[in-house]
Each structure stands twice: as structure tokens, then as C-alpha cells.
Structure 1
Amino acid sequence: MAISHARRTTSTLLSAALAASALTLVQSAPAAVAAETIQCKSSSTIYTGLPDKWFRAYPHSEPETGAAQWDPTVIGPQVIDATMVAGPDGIIYTVHDGKLEKRRWNGASFDNNSPEVIQVPWAGWNNTPARYRISVDAKGDFYKVDDAGTLTWARYNASTLTWSERVLDTGWGKYDQVFTSGEGVIWARNPDEMNGRLYRYVYHADSQRWLQYGKADGAGWNIYHRLIGVGADVIYGFTKDGVGFGGNDPASKPNQVIWYRYAAETNTWQGGNYMGWGWNPAWKIIGAPDSCKWVGGTVPQRPGLTEGDNRATSLVQTSDGRVHHLWVDGQGGLVHARQRDLVDPTAADLSTVPQSQNLTGGASLAAQEDGRLLGLGAGTNSSILSSLEPTKDANFPVGKDFGGFTASSPTVVKGKDNLLSAFIVDGNGDVWTRGQNAANAELRPWVKGQVSFPGTTPGPTPKFAARAVTAVADNGAIVVIASDVNGQPWVANYYGNGNFIGGWAALGQPQGTTLASAASAALTRDGTIQLAARGTDGKIYTKRQATDGTWTGAWVKIHDRTFLGQPAILTSTGGTTFVAARATDNYVYETGTTTPGGAIFRTWNLVRGSDFPEPSATDPGVVAMSNGNWVLSYRNEFGEVLIAYATTSGSSIAARTASADAPATKTPMFTVKKTKR
């Protein structure tokens, strides 16, 4: 271990001061060291609140090495009358129902005689189990597990006097101690496994990512009545009554303190160093979370997002039959268009998500199980904005930071289990996901996509391009299609919790060209997936999954017209697959299979209503309606939205069909309406 610290390298033991605290401390040799660089303050401070409410601070002057060298104990006033939590920069909180009392310890005394009182929407943190499951990290963020086992992150904004909170996970009732030891580093003990097993989690709050999730470490941690961290994975354990460590007799040396340090880079533990005794289980014991930190480690970076505002509108039909549109406009706002009535799908009311700005690329829209819409858009700073309707059909509220640190536009889709899942691609070409654990619940943090190959050897995981992934729910998984840096699409089946079971399969390239756009996807009538993408030659190509789930078929060109951007694809409830795209003349054209479920497409048809067609400045978006028709949406150069309602009541196709026993589909007729603000 390379040690860097702003502190002296030796310290003296003042036994007289320590005797007042009923502690006996001994010297021990430094432990073996690990490869990471750790930087500590002059000491790591352990704070205690005694049953008589007296406050004490115990500075351990060798937190890097675990040598049992302590600076003098400092005794504070009688203030600790509730659960005690330590924050960075000497902050000491006492937690009461509905409020925090905040003081700052300067190393010798409290700065403020009267505490600052901060209102909190919490209660129930002053019982014995709960006080072992609330902690603050080196950044000042709270992590707390309630009696229902829900892990919540919370951050206080001192300027606005408001709290931001996120549910990170459920099922944490199995842990009896949850504590931090570094920025976003959470340790949790399961007392029912292996006589006490620790699990390590790392949450990056700004990107809202799990950087590590539930890594199991060691066994036998039940010997401690209390575990605390002081940063950089330095951990102190305080033994239970009657438990001795390393040959130290608990009868003469009760309630011993033991030092450990975990090195994540090498996955090794140092320590098990005896540091002294006398730490009574009746004491409230916490550690200053910013005493130590890692130096030189990597954290998620903002890659920047440069997609333009010519991406397709995201469309959803909700259970009441209305079609909803969402897109990012030229001013960087997130715009929602709601179908005005159930009679006319081309008439819509427009509104902008309040305070949305500096967005770019494409938006994504999905309906929860309860009918409320969730809209996502990515900012130029790589953070995603999310907005969830408070009630069904209510206006979108001011958006919330959805994290991500994404290089691509976001994608959100509802699976057949009625749970939402979101997908992005980061600056390293990795896919990240986040989703709901229960219907209508808050989406959990981003996790990097994990490739699962039960009983097999994993195949390749490509580096993906900074394009929005395509996701469509089939009858089991969510099928995800993403393009690699060479333009080749890959497909995987997503089953939640970051798990791509079976891994990624390459879908190849069309003969004689490569793909220039991402692939759009639709679920066909027989349960297979059909794709559409644009080649570098400007032609539109399609590929269809076989009924056995394989993708052995070739990419097939759909006639010879040339196009821009990414095509859209859908399958109507009648079984016809339609493709729409913006041509090089900037007009939108569509085509469809000549029979339901067929493989032959009729020639491209100009999308127009009774009036002259209007050119498009964006890729088209489409959605299949429950009545067998479909809606197409695009925007012109002035930012106006044009909505086309496609019905199949027009003339029959002239071309012969490929199947004699299947009725020929009809070329759709379009009703088009322009909607202005």
C-alpha cells in the first residue's frame, strides 16, 4: 500500500486520558499492506454516545496500517440522546422522529452550542435495530434501511432546505448492520449466513449506478456487536460480551476493538488487528466517514451526448385508446402530445415538461401498469431527465434527475410482466439497465448488463455504439438490439436485474453493404421479432427471427428507394408488418407486407393526407393501435408535429401476393393533421 497522508507518522499514547474512558489500548505491529493508495487524515475518529448522554471522540492515529496508536480521548458535552450518525467534516447528527439535530465537532468541542434542526420525513430510527441500519457516507449522503427492508438514499440541499430521496433496493431486512466506509460504499451484515457474512455494495449517487452489487466477503462477523467504517474500506469491529479475539481473554479484556481494511482492487483483506478493549455494547458507536479515502481510483465519467433533435417521436397507446407522443424539441425541451379525444387520433394537445431544457437526441415513453406515463430524455451533460405523471392523464410534472451518464438516448419499455425497464449505452460501449422490482414502483439504480450463460462458456460481448438501443417485449423476455461500433446489430434476451440470459448474438450485415442506422424492431403475429435498418447505400433492409428463436436468415432489401436516418417498424393487430422511413427527398414513405405475416413488401407509398404532403425534418415514429390501424408521427422544419392516422380501407395492392391462401392487405389511407402549439 502506498500511504499518503496529511499527518504525523507517529503518535503517543496518553494512558491517563484513556483510563477515563474505560479503554485499554495496546501497540501492535502494522499489518501487511495492499496495492491501492490510501490517504487518511491525521486520525480516524471514532465517536461514542454513552448511556448518560456524554459525547466522546477517540482518534485512532494509524488507520492506514492498523497499528494500535491512539491520540488523546476528547470528552464533549451531554448531547447524545438519540440515534447518532456521523457525517463528513465533523458533522454529528442525532436522529429523532421528524427531525435531525446537526452539530459540528471541530476536534475539541462543538462549534454550535445549540444544534441546527433539520426537518426530515422520517420516523422510527431511534430503536436499537434501526440505529444499526442508518449511515452517512463521505459525500454526506444518507443510506437507511427501514423496518420493511427498503434501502433508501437521501441527500439534503441546505440552500433549498429540501431532501432528495431514492429507493435503491428492497429485501434488506435480512441485514442487521448496514454502514458506509467510503463514498457510496455500503457494507451490510447478514447474521443468518456463515455466522455473519458481509456484503459489499457500491452506489455512485450522481450517475445513479450500482458499481458493485452484493459482493460476499468473509464469514464469522457475528462476533461483533457493532461494525463501523471510516472510509477507504477501513472497518472497526467491536466484540460482543464474552468474545475474545486473537487469544485476548474476554474476561480481562471485554468488548475488544479489531481493525480491518479491505482492498477492492486486489479483493484482499488486511488486519484482524487487536486495538484494545472496553467498548461497551450500550454505547452508540460511529465513525467519521471521511477519515480515509482511496486515491487515484476511477469513477463514472460524463461522456457527453451529441445526438441531434431529428430522432423519431416515441409513441404509446394507453389502455383508454389514446395515443401519446414524446420528443425533444429544437429548444432542448421535452414535449408531450396527448390525443385530444377518442374519435380523432390526429388531434392532440401539446405541453412541455416544466423546466425541461438542455436535452438532445431522442425521448422515450412507456406506460406503467397503473396507466401513468414515464417519459425520459437525455441532457447534453449525459444525465437523463425523467418525468412520471402523478396520476393517469395528469400533466407531466417537473422532471427529476435520472442519472445514467449516458452516451446514447434512453430507451424505456414495459415487459409482459408489466414492469418497466430502461436501457442506455455509456461512453465505454457498455449497456446499462434499470427497472422496476414491482409494478408501479420506483426504478432501481442503473446496473451494467450482465451476460448469463447457465452451464455454458460465455461468448463475446461487443462494444456498442452510442446509439439508443431498441427494446421490444416478447412473450417472455425483453428482446434488446444494439449496434456495435462497426454498425452490426446484436441481440440478447433481457430478464431483469441486469441479466441478459444467453448473452449477445451477432446479426450480421446485409450483403454488399453495412448498416448505417440502428435497427428498429417489432413483435410479429407469430411471436417472432422483425427488424428494419438503413444501410450505408441508403436502402432499407429487414431481417426476421425464425420461429425456433434463431436468427439465421439473411438481411433482405426492401426495394430500391434511398432513405435517411432510422426506419420505423410495427406489426398491426391484423398481422401486417409496416415499415416507414424518411427518404432523401425528406418525405416520409411507408410499405407493408403484401399478406399478414408475409415476407414480401409492396412498393414504397408516400405518406400524405388529402392535401399535399409535407416534408419531414425527423425520422418517423409509429405505434400499432388496438383497432388494427396505426399512427405515424413526425416533425417538420418548424418544429410542428404532423400526425398521420393509417387505416387499411383503401385500394387493394396491385402486386400479387406470395401466398394464395392469404388475403391481400390493403395500402393504408392516411388522415394527416398538423398540430401547432
Structure 2
Amino acid sequence: MSRQNVAYRTVLRGTMRKLGAAGSALAVISLSASLAVVTSSPAAADQEVRCESKARIFTVQPNGNLWLYEHANPAAGGYAWAGARHIGTDWAGGRTLAGQFGYVYSITASGDVRRFRWNGDGWDRGGAYDVIGRGWGRFATAEHRNKITVDSLGDFYSIDDQGRLSRSFVVGNELRSEVIAQGWGGYNLIAASGPGTIYARANSYLDRFRYHRDSNRLYEAVQSDTPGWPSYSKLAGAGGGIFFGVNWVHDDLNWQRDTSGNDDTHTYPPGNVAGSGWAKDIDTVVAPDTCTRVPERGPSTPSNGITSNAPSAIVESGGKLRIAHRQDNGTIRFLTEDAEGSWSSRAVGEGQYVMDISALPVNGGVQITAEHLDGARAFTVGDNGVVSPATELGGRANELPVVTQVGYSYFSAEGDLWYRYGEGPWRRKDTNIGNWGLTAITRADGVVVLVVNDRTTTEPVMFTDDHGRLSDAQPLNGPAGLDPALSLDADGTVRVTYTDVVEKTLVTRRIGGSGSQEWTTVAGPDPSYGNAAAAAAGPDGRVDIVRRASGGQVVVSTQLEPNGTAFGPWVPVGGGYSSAPAIVRSVATGQLVITFRDSANASHVYKRTASGYVGGKVG
């Protein structure tokens, strides 16, 4: 019996009358079909899966015919068919994919990506198509055709010849791509079932990954403990963790569902057989927006409130000192020292900035990173005065991400460390440690050192990122504390300084290098307990630590010897100030420069001289 007749027999078993001539009209899909609701398993009792009443399943048969099958119970599977229809010819030789809103894609052997749309009754524009991409022929080959999928949002995910996972999205009539992960060369099949929810097969197991495109976060899930997936020659997601897969061993179409619904596990209870005689088809794909979880998982939108007295940021760019700080009206004030002691000021950036701010010298200007009402944004103020448009950093962090000179960024959330390399996605380092006070510094060898307070003990822990190799958490065995600050000693060794919340003193130690690794107290009782510290090394190699005292007085303590453990007494710099201080070493002059603001939000600048810090209000 021909494959076409097998298909008819399977679809109609026990549900419809026997067909007459091939191609007789059957019921067709309505794109506005009603929703069937299936409640999630107890493991995910706060979620349910909702499906359209029929799933659109497109198959390409060996003779090149394209058929549309309608499964009448996508929420539960089984032999539940509503009809089938021959809707195209000459579809062999490429790779067929289904997208949202009735879109069907054909990747030709020559590498074109053709986009069609099935409207429920026929093809839009009589079957005309748009070419939205070129150079995709890799995925029309037998070896790589299972390394591409489309999710319920219409985004393409694919594994390239370098083992990189890319997300591609349609803008107008053009596919645009971005790499979101590396190290995927060991996966031989991927299938999306939900927005950004990617299942990837290696050996006999499926791993699950979740990419949240609005926040640019990539979640990694644990490996499934259910083997047996190698027998699937094709796997297509209907959304909501539901799949239809072709088992080539038994020549069956199987229905399967991931019932876990959370970020840490995925579970596949026994599925069921939905049809037989499907193994010879070239492609079997399902409309990926058939089902959805309610609610879908993802990080919540930040609810950042406006804070007063956010610290200033100071850097040097183009041979000039630059200061940035958030004003009370939510705009950002940018100051430049045009000549010694002469400062100009302007407002930069648009929008409602609410919290902390950081500045980083980049080629030809200063990159400003600031917390907005809905998350972090970054823009550049050029040395020529040109301000770039702000871009969202994603992540949905409730704190300002730490951005480093080597292009790595980090933030702490939900007890984990999140990291991002360049323009890639935010990825999670499972630590259950990081909570607040994250800070970072880049050593001369390009290694990034991060310190954050443990959310349970509030003791500091350290991570190192050696050119993209992020370490596990390393305890520093210090007292419970707050607000770590990092600096480099004269020999390039990282120094961490923070407040001991029990003794109310400032403690410091070197991390690595030669000499003592013990924690020592800085200058006796800390008069500025409760306020963040800043530290930097001067031209003589000695580190200055600056704090704001509880009465608004700014004080500084200087290392007695380069690379040493002892620091001098706290020396007042000024009084009556409201913001935490910041410190930087000027490359042009070699001086250490401290900045902070008074109660009227005016900036003050003090520079270290042989006789101490000298300066005052600059605007």
C-alpha cells in the first residue's frame, strides 16, 4: 500500500468515513480555533498548558508532495485526527519548517529560505513566497537538517559548523542572526517547544535550554534522566513542552510532553502513539504556536525605584577627567575638565534613570551604564561631544551590571551570578551565593576578578574569569560584611576592601601575589561605617581607600608601603556631602582624584598632592 494510503488509513481510523478519490476535501484548520485546556502536572501546579483545538502538522512525502494533517487533540495526543489535505508539490530536496501564524518555510538545497503562509483555506498570494535568507543550504542536508528549529515566537534557532547556537529573527523580509551560545557541536537534533525553549539531543538524552529574548537571558536546564530519544528521526514542538516525533524504529508518530514546567528539571511521562506509517516522510513539522504554557516562565520586569544620593563615576578619556552622575530628575549630568580646574557641564542621555551609574573609558569616549526604570542601558559620550543612542543591556537585573574593560559584564540575581561576553546573551552561573555588592576589576593579564557577598553568611566570595572561563565561587574566609571595593596594589595583585558589619571596621587583604594574605583592619574603627568604599593606587604605588562618614564627611586612609598590609589614619577630605565618593588615578598627571557631591547635588573634586588632597566644588 502506498504511503499516501497509509496516511489516510492512520488519520481516519475510528474517526471519519473512508475517503473516495485521493485529494477529496477534508476539514481544514481554522487559525482562530478554540483553545483546549490541560492542567499541568503537580510538579508545576502553578502552570497549565492551553492548546488550539487542532494542531497543524505538515509533512513532505518522498515524492515531494506536501500534506497538511490536523490532529484534533494536541493537548493529550493519541489517535485523534480531524482530516488531511494535499496542499503542495515539489517540496522534496530541501528542509521544511513551520512557524507561527501559519508561516511555512522551505530551505532549498541552494540555500534560499522561502517563506509561505497557509491561511487555513489555501496559500496566501496563490502560493507566492518571499526569499528571506540565503546561504542556509547546510540545513537541507541529511547530516544537519535536524539542527534547526522554529519556536512559538517565530524565531529560528540553529547550530552552525562551529558548534555555535544562533537565534535568527525576521525583520521585514530579511533573516538576521546573532550567536547566543557556543559548545553545541555535540547535539545532533534540536526542537523548540515554547518561546525560546530549546530541547537538544546528545546521545540518548534531551537537554533543555531556555532563552528569554526580551531580557537576553539564556537558561541552562539539567539533563533529562529519561533515555530513549535516539529512535526519533524527527522531533517537532507544538509549544508548551508538547512534541510530535517520528520513531523510525516503529514507524510511528508519537506524542510526548515535558510536564515539569520549571527551570531546573524536565520530566517525560509515557507518551502515546498518534499515528503509524510516518517514518518515510522527508519532513514532519508542527505549527509551534499550537500550545502554550500559562504563564510562561521568564525573569520579571525590574521595578526599580528612584534613589537619592547615587554615587558619581569618574574616569579619564582623551586626556581629560570626566564625571557622570544621575540627577534627581532622572537625567544624567556629564562634567569634563577642559583645563586644570576649569569644568564644563551638560545633560546627556534620555529617559528616567533611577539608581547607580558607572563609566568606562572606551576608544574615543566614555561608555555610561546606568539603571533605568525598566533595566540597565548603556550609551557613549564621545570625546568629540557626540552622544550615541542608548541601548538596553537586557538581563532584567534589579541592580546595575558590572561592565569591564575586556567587554565582559556581570550581575547578581536570584542567588546566582549572571554573565555576558560582548553582545551575547546573559547566562547563569549556578552558585546560590551571590546576592549584593558585586564588583569587578581587570588585572593586567586580562583576567577579571569578581567579589560578591554570600547572601546567607554575607561573607565575601570570589570568582575569576580567565578569558571566558568563569570559575566556581572561591571563599575568601573573611568576616561578614558589605560593599566590597577592589583595587590593584603596586605589583598588580588584587586587593579587596570592605566593611566588617560586626566590628564596624574596614578590613582589607591581598588576593594572590606574594606577602601576607591575612585580613587586616584599616586605620582602626571605621568612622564611615555603612557607606561604600572606593580604592585606587597612586603614582607611588600606595593605595588610597576613601569612604564617606556617617555625618557626611569624606575620609581617606593611605597605604603606608606599596603592597603592604598597614594603612595610615583616616584623614578628612571634606564635610557635608551626600553621595558616596569615587576615586580614579589620572593617567595624564598620575594623581589620584576623588569626587563626590554635596546636598545640593553639586560635584566636588579633590586631587592628591604632596601635602594631601586639595580641591573643592566644580559644578
Shorter-chain TM-score above 0.5: yes
* Pair 1:402 & 2:393 matched: yes
Asked if the contact 1:92–1:104 (Cα under 8 Å) also holds between the matched residues in 2, the reply is: yes
Q: 1:56 aligns with which of 54, 67, 75?
A: 67
What amino acid sits opposite 1:448 in the alignment? R
Change (3 A) 1:372 1:234: farther
Give the drift of 1:523. Answer: 2.8
What amino acid sits opposite 2:583 in the alignment? V
Q: Deviations over 1:324-347 (max 9, x none)?
A: 54443333345555665xx85975
Asked if the contact 2:53–2:74 (Cα under 8 Å) also holds between the matched residues in 1, the reply is: no
Structure 1: where are the runs of 5+ without partners? 1-9, 22-32, 246-254, 452-460, 510-514, 608-612, 652-666
* Pair 1:619 & 2:611 matched: no
What amino acid sits opposite 2:483 in the alignment? A
Match of 1:469 in 2: 438
Match of 2:7 in 1: none
Q: 1:579 aligns with which of 545, 549, 555?
A: 545
Larger CA deviation: 64-73 vs 302-311? 302-311
What amino acid sits opposite 2:478 in the alignment? L
Match of 1:507 in 2: 478
* Pair 1:187 & 2:181 matched: no
Change (3 A) 1:375 1:219: farther
Match of 1:491 in 2: 461
Change (3 A) 1:560 1:226: closer
Match of 1:363 in 2: 357
Give the TM-score, by structure 1 length: 0.71
Change (3 A) 1:347 1:392: closer
Q: 2:190 aligns with which of 171, 178, 181?
A: 178
Alpha-carbon distance in structure 2 between the residues aligned to 1:570 and 1:327: 20
Give the drift of 1:200. Answer: 1.9
* Pair 1:423 & 2:423 matched: no
* Pair 1:631 & 2:590 matched: no
Alpha-carbon distance in structure 2 between the residues aligned to 1:337 and 1:54: 68
Asked if the contact 1:432–1:446 (Cα under 8 Å) also holds between the matched residues in 2, the reply is: no
Change (3 A) 1:394 1:143: farther
Give the drift of 1:422. Answer: 2.2
Asked if the contact 2:95–2:283 (Cα under 8 Å) also holds between the matched residues in 1, the reply is: yes
Corresponding residue SS for 1:525: coil
Asked if the contact 1:479–1:491 (Cα under 8 Å) also holds between the matched residues in 2, the reply is: no
Alpha-carbon distance in structure 2 between the residues aligned to 1:304 and 1:424: 16
Change (3 A) 1:385 1:144: farther
Query: How does 1:176-575 map onto structure 2 within 5 Å?
Result: 176-190=188-202, 194=203, 197-213=205-221, 215=223, 221-239=229-247, 243-245=248-250, 256-264=252-260, 267-271=266-270, 273-279=272-278, 283-295=282-294, 298-306=297-305, 308-317=307-316, 323-334=321-332, 352-353=348-349, 356-366=350-360, 374-381=367-374, 383-387=375-379, 395-414=386-405, 419-426=406-413, 428=414, 430-436=415-421, 441-442=422-423, 444-451=424-431, 461-462=432-433, 464=435, 467-474=436-443, 478-483=448-453, 488-495=458-465, 499-505=470-476, 507-509=478-480, 518-525=483-490, 527-533=493-499, 541-545=506-510, 553=519, 555-556=521-522, 558=524, 561-562=527-528, 565-575=531-541
Asked if the contact 1:520–1:567 (Cα under 8 Å) also holds between the matched residues in 2, the reply is: yes
Give the drift of 1:491. Answer: 1.8
Alpha-carbon distance in structure 1 between the residues aligned to 2:542 and 2:238: 62
Asked if the contact 2:508–2:522 (Cα under 8 Å) also holds between the matched residues in 1, the reply is: yes
Change (3 A) 1:408 1:218: same
Change (3 A) 1:297 1:486: same
Match of 1:75 in 2: 86
What amino acid sits opposite 1:186 in the alignment? I
What amino acid sits opposite 2:327 in the alignment? D
Alpha-carbon distance in structure 2 between the residues aligned to 1:351 and 1:165: 35
Alpha-carbon distance in structure 1 between the residues aligned to 2:82 and 2:224: 34
What amino acid sits opposite 1:56 in the alignment? W
Q: Deviations over 1:553-595 (max 9, x none)?
A: 3544545644773221222353312122334554533331233
Give the TM-score, by structure 2 length: 0.77
Q: Deviations over 1:53-101 (max 9, x none)?
A: 7543212234344423322113335696975432334333456899976
What amino acid sits opposite 1:674 in the alignment? V
Give the drift of 1:285. Answer: 3.1
Change (3 A) 1:622 1:19: farther
Q: 2:563 aligns with which of 597, 622, 627?
A: 597
Give the drift of 1:49. Answer: 4.6
* Pair 1:670 & 2:602 matched: no
What amino acid sits opposite 2:438 in the alignment? V
Match of 2:33 in 1: none
Corresponding residue SS for 2:472: strand
Asked if the contact 1:346–1:643 (Cα under 8 Å) also holds between the matched residues in 2, the reply is: no
Match of 1:454 in 2: none
Match of 2:28 in 1: none
Alpha-carbon distance in structure 1 between the residues aligned to 2:219 and 2:149: 19
Change (3 A) 1:113 1:324: farther
Query: How does 1:117-156 map onto structure 2 within 5 Å?
Result: 122-127=133-138, 128-129=140-141, 132-155=146-169
Asked if the contact 1:521–1:529 (Cα under 8 Å) also holds between the matched residues in 2, the reply is: yes
Change (3 A) 1:56 1:386: farther
Alpha-carbon distance in structure 1 between the residues aligned to 2:85 and 2:341: 73
* Pair 1:167 & 2:179 matched: yes
Asked if the contact 1:51–1:282 (Cα under 8 Å) also holds between the matched residues in 2, the reply is: yes
Change (3 A) 1:189 1:535: closer
Give the drift of 1:273. Answer: 4.1
Alpha-carbon distance in structure 2 between the residues aligned to 1:501 and 1:177: 30
Corresponding residue SS for 2:269: strand
> Number of paired residues?
575
What amino acid sits opposite 2:198 in the alignment? I
Match of 1:16 in 2: 19
CA RMSD of aligned residues (A): 4.4
Asked if the contact 2:201–2:229 (Cα under 8 Å) also holds between the matched residues in 1, the reply is: yes
Larger CA deviation: 125-134 vs 60-69? 125-134
Asked if the contact 1:479–1:494 (Cα under 8 Å) also holds between the matched residues in 2, the reply is: yes
Corresponding residue SS for 1:670: strand
Asked if the contact 1:38–1:294 (Cα under 8 Å) also holds between the matched residues in 2, the reply is: yes
Alpha-carbon distance in structure 1 between the residues aligned to 2:572 and 2:165: 53
Asked if the contact 1:105–1:111 (Cα under 8 Å) also holds between the matched residues in 2, the reply is: yes
Alpha-carbon distance in structure 1 between the residues aligned to 2:364 and 2:217: 27
Change (3 A) 1:188 1:431: closer
Asked if the contact 1:234–1:262 (Cα under 8 Å) also holds between the matched residues in 2, the reply is: yes
Structure 2: where are the runs of 5+ without partners? 1-12, 25-40
Give the drift of 1:177. Answer: 3.2
Corresponding residue SS for 1:508: coil
What amino acid sits opposite 1:434 in the alignment? Y
What amino acid sits opposite 2:472 in the alignment? I
